[in-house]
Each structure stands twice: as C-alpha cells, then as structure tokens.
Copies of this chain bind each other. A is one copy, B any other.
Amino acid sequence: MPEFLTLLPPKESLDKLLRNLPDPKLATETVNTDSALGRITATDLRAPHALPEFPRSTVDGFAVKVRDTYGASDSLPAYLNLIGECPMGATPDLEITPTTTAIIHTGGMLPKGADAVVMLEYTQTLSKGGRPSAPTDEIEIFRAVADGENVIRIGEDVAKDALIKPKGSPIRPAEVGGLMALGFTQVEVVQCPKIGVISSGDEVVEPEKRPQPGQVRDINSYTLATLVEKYGGEPVVYGIVADSMDAMKVAISRALDECEMVLITAGSSASARDMTAAAIDELGDPGVLVHGVNTRPGKPTILGVCDGKAVIGLPGNPVSALVNGYVFVAPLVRRLLGQSAEELRPSVSAKLTVNISSQAGREDWIPIRLTAKNAEKSYLANPIFGKSNLIFTLVGADGLLKISSDATGLSAGEMVEVILI
C-alpha cells in the first residue's frame, strides 16, 4: 500500500509525453478577422499586394524634388513655386518639376516627379492670405531633404508575397490590423481543440450542492476547464465520476472518443490515483508514461498517451491540479492549436520579500502576491505560504514563482520573475 513513486523532473516528463504523441491533426475553420482575437492562424499568410501600393508622405509638408533643396538652410532658404495641393485618397493631378512644389498631407500619395517631402515646420509661405494657395505663392524651404525622406516607399511596410504571419501564430490586435490592411476580412484559423475534463472522488459533490460533512465541492472541473478556455481550447466537462474502475474507464473512454486530450483529477487518495493509472494503461497504447513528477505541488501527476491522445491524471488537490495545469496542460493545448510548445510566459520582475527554502532536486512553485514598491518602477514579490492544497492561496496570488530543481532556495532581496496566472 505505501506508495513510493519514481519521480521524473517536469521538463523530462513533458518531453517524454511529447515524444509519444503524433503530430496534431489541425482542423481549421474560417472566421471573420474582426472576431478572430486570440485565435491561431492555420496557414502561412502572404501579402496579396504590396503595402503601401503607392509612395505616401509620413508628414504634413511640401512634396519636392530633393535636388531643389540642396544646401537649403534658415539663412539661405530654397524658393519653390507652389503648383497645387495633393488630395487625400486620390492620385494627385499634378507633377513636380524643377523649382516647383505641392502641399501634401500625412498619408497622402506623393505626386509624380517628387522624391521627398519637406516638413511644414521647415517651410514658410510667402503669401498674403492665411493659407498657401497656388499658383501665386512661393514656398521658402529651410532644410535640405534626402531622397525618400518623409516618404514610405511602395512595399516598405510589406512586400507583395511576403510571409506576413506563419501558421500557428496568435491573432492579436496588431495582426487584425495587418490582415485588414491587406484586405483579409476573413482568416483561416485552427479549430479550438476539445479537451475532456473528468473529476472523480467519492468526497466530491457538484458545486450547486451543499456539501455534507466529509464532502467538498468540485473545484477541479472548473479550474481546469477555465484554464483550457484561457489557452484557446474548448473544455468538455464530464462531471464527477464515481471512484470505481468501471465508471472511470467508461468516462475516460467516452472522453477519448469525443476529445483530443483528456484531463482527469482523481480522488486524492493513492488508491484512486492508482486506479486512474490502471484505467489509462488499459484504454490505449502506450498508456502511462510518467507516474510521479518531481515538483511541488503536483508530485502524483500521471502523464499518459492512449492511441495518440494525451491523457493527464492530475492530483485531486485543487492547487496541484491547477499549478500542474499551467505546467503540463497549457503547453499541450497550445500544441493542439499548432503553436510551438514553448510559450512566452508573461511575467513581471519583482523583489522577493523573504527567504524561501526549497529542496534540491525538486521544482517548487510558490504562489506570489505582488505589491507595488513604487508605481513606476518595480514590484515586491510576497510569497503566500500555506499548505499546498488551499485554493485560496492561489485566489490571493498574482502569479507563481518557480524555484528550479538545482536551487535550495531563494534569498530575500533577490529579483525574481513572477509568472502571471
């Protein structure tokens, strides 16, 4: 009955699981770009045309021939004849010839013959009216410009056929803009992979029930479903399954049929965990790959594969389940979306307020509350201590601090990276 697990480090555990998974088959769908925030591109996107398609001014000023401005200065301005104004949104119906110029606005199309723009601030209009007007006015130019100065050239933003975003990229506000700029009002994205979530434990009841003595409400179905949602998956919650081998096998088997990955939080006892492992072994090959991960919280985590689909047994303890959800489930969901397993983990740098000791050889994850040291500059990282199964240690936390397995602790005053959750 005593359980002495053979523990693997978290990274090795995940790598072992990944080596036993086939490349994900990515189902795709087409969505409107303006509602694609957070979705993942399913194809390499290439520019159907250059951007911009015409040379544009980046400033308000005067379109000129560079040659006409050579040597111009405050004390020795160049004088140019104003021949008109470039309209916005249309091809200018004028041509810049030597010693002539035209008014141009930011974003306006450069007229024929012009090769640069002089900023308004470096010019003066010699006229009687308030506004420069052609053909009578003369423009003083106080500064020389180089070829292409204050101009965006054709294709300078993006060249025709350039790869604008490789498949597997998340769509953020900038991508929505880039896609719209090129006329992609729809975009092919990866379908949200379905992730089955199964809870078990004879002590666990649905949250809407009032628990009797000895009972607790189901937390893990909901934290894990939300975590899956946060990372772009579609959670399928199967509810609470009885602590019996048959019930467990029926539930996992159904979830394997309907989903692309299955998460199980077993009852917290060793026998319930063993039952999860046995069920995974029976339901497909190669079955359990890792039983026991050298991390705290989360030691009794099970990683397995049933006929090409990952099955993860997470500890029943809600903090372990959620922390190991961030460690193992998040990269697997990202993978099913065609993203690289590696994630840019959003974090903030903060100064640790107290010493934290840790056992060498084990990776520790400590809940951290961040407080502002001073509004602009930096944060203080305040560890939230407490037994590792208190969900409110995470509710009160802004992030997690990882203490790597080769460290025996961290010192007060050290700058640490707190991973936001």
**Nearest chain B CB to A253's CB is how many angstroms away?**
24
The 9 residue pairs across chains A and B that have the minimum distance between CB atoms:
A346-B346, A105-B269, A106-B268, A89-B203, A177-B223, A174-B394, A178-B395, A109-B214, A88-B202
**Nearest chain B CB to A100's CB is how many angstroms away?**
19
Q: Is A165 an interface residue (CB 8 A)?
A: yes
A226 touches B107 (CB 8 A): no
B105 touches A268 (CB 8 A): yes
**Nearest chain B CB to A14's CB is how many angstroms away?**
12
Q: Is A131 an interface residue (CB 8 A)?
A: yes
0 or 1 for each of A111-125: is its CB under 8 Å from B? (1 = yes): 000000000110101
Q: Is A270 an interface residue (CB 8 A)?
A: yes
A420 touches B346 (CB 8 A): yes
Chain A's interface size range is: 35 or more
**5 extra A-B contacts, CB within 8 A, seeds A1-B120, A173-B230, A178-B219:** A37-B229, A37-B230, A177-B222, A344-B370, A349-B349
Which one of B56, B89, B204, B230 lies within 8 Å of A204 (CB-CB)?
B89
Looking at A183, A207, A219, A386, the one whose CB has the most chain B CB atoms below 10 A away is A207
Which one of B211, B214, B223 lies within 8 Å of A176 (CB-CB)?
B223
B421 touches A223 (CB 8 A): no
Query: From residue 384 to 400 of chain A, which have CB atoms closer than 8 A to chain B?
Result: 386-387, 389-392, 394-395, 397-398
Number of identical monomers bound together in the oligomeric complex: 2
Q: Is A347 an interface residue (CB 8 A)?
A: yes
B269 touches A106 (CB 8 A): yes
Closest to A186 in B: B208
Per the bound structure, the CA–CA distance linking A197 and B372 in Å amounts to 33
Per the bound structure, the CA–CA distance linking A210 and B215 in Å amounts to 63
Which one of B33, B54, B157, B229 lies within 8 Å of A390 (CB-CB)?
B157
Contacts known (A173-B227, A346-B347); A391 close to B157, Cβ less than 8 A? yes
**Nearest chain B CB to A212's CB is how many angstroms away?**
7
**Nearest chain B CB to A272's CB is how many angstroms away?**
8
A34 touches B174 (CB 8 A): no
B421 touches A267 (CB 8 A): no
B172 touches A34 (CB 8 A): no
Q: Is A417 an interface residue (CB 8 A)?
A: yes
B180 touches A207 (CB 8 A): yes
A390 touches B156 (CB 8 A): yes
